[in-house]
Amino acid sequence: MIELDIAIKDKFYPNSDSMVLKDVAFKVKPGEFIAIIGPSGCGKTTLLNMLSGLEDASEQKLLCNSKSFNKDNEYQLGYVFQQPRLMPWLTVKENLQLVLPTTQPQLIDTLLTQVGLAGKGSYFPRQLSGGMQRRVAIARAFAVNPDLILLDEPFNSLDAPTASKLRLLLVELCKTRGSTVIFVTHDLSEAVYLADRILFMSHSPSAIIHQEVIDLPKPRQESGSAELAWQAKLMAQYPQILAGDVN
């Protein structure tokens, strides 16, 4: 498990003067499940890309276990993108094997069973539904036994029952693996169901404008009365928070 200390002074869009992130700073405790909520286009994906090393800023301080992030970082990362990003020419098993340094058929079978895709290992991604492809992407992220998992609206555009099943799956996998998780979403109820703490971002150029620890006991219920009451209380206090405004 790892802890993170993030401080990004500014981040501009590539080849542009337009600033996307400004003075974004937060810390993540080991094994903590953080949800990040913000309006569309506020730079949530950019932030995750910076944490994963896919993008960087001119001035940033990204510390992982008090050590600076670098390309040869020792910690293992899992990233579930908005789109599954599976290799279409590889079967489900081969897609999982791809990210593993050694051949581990047993681990792959176990993961496929956990995500409810036992028997689908020889299928190609195009033979699977959108929900199944996302399950493979989640299995791939957990296959590497990650210290940190980044999830970028992974259940976006899925029908409600499928998204609900996948959330449950994510909760179970996080419980068994104990990874530190940063989960980007625009759905407050999803964040309340999954996270230990929620960070709220403002409009672009974005900063963390508010954070809220969710003190509800786990396991939680989707649309449970306690969860709904928690949301209602927050929305009564900050009616414009989802639009990136706390005033």
Partner 1 sequence: MSRTIDIKKHANQQALTSKLIKMLFNTLMSPLYGRLIMLIVLAGLWQGTAWLVNSSDFPSLLIVLDSFIYHFYQGDMVSNLSVTLSRVLISFIIALILGVIIGILMGTSKRLNQLTDTLLIIALNIPALVTILLCYIWFGLVESAAITAVVINKIPTVVVMIREGARVVDQDLLSVAKIYKLSLSKTFFKVFLPQLYPYIMASARAGLSLIWKIVLVVELLGRSDGVGFALNTLFQFFDIAGILAYTFAFISIVLVIEHLIFRPLDKLVTRGCHFDRT
Residue 52 touching partner 1 (CB under 8 A) = yes
Q: Pick the stretch among 83-91, 177-185, 192-200, 211-219 that binds partner 1 (CB under 8 A).
A: 83-91
Least CB distance to partner 1 at residue 52 (A):
6
243 binds partner 1 (CB under 8 A): no
Q: Which of 18, 25, 98, 172 binds partner 1 (CB under 8 A)?
A: 98
**Least separation in angstroms between CB 217 and partner 1:** 33
**Least distance from partner 1 to the Cβ atom of residue 54, Å:** 5
Residue 124 lies near partner 1 (rule: CB under 8 A): yes
Are 184 and 43 a contacting pair, CB within 8 Å?
Answer: no
Q: How many residues does the chain have?
A: 247
Site for partner 1 in 142-201 (CB under 8 A): 144
Site stretch for partner 1 (CB under 8 A), options 47-55, 177-185, 216-224, 233-241:
47-55
Do 20 and 12 meet the contact criterion of CB atoms below 8 Å apart?
yes
Q: Which residues would be at the binding site for partner 1 (CB under 8 A)?
A: 52-54, 77-79, 81, 83, 85, 87-91, 98-99, 124-129, 140, 144
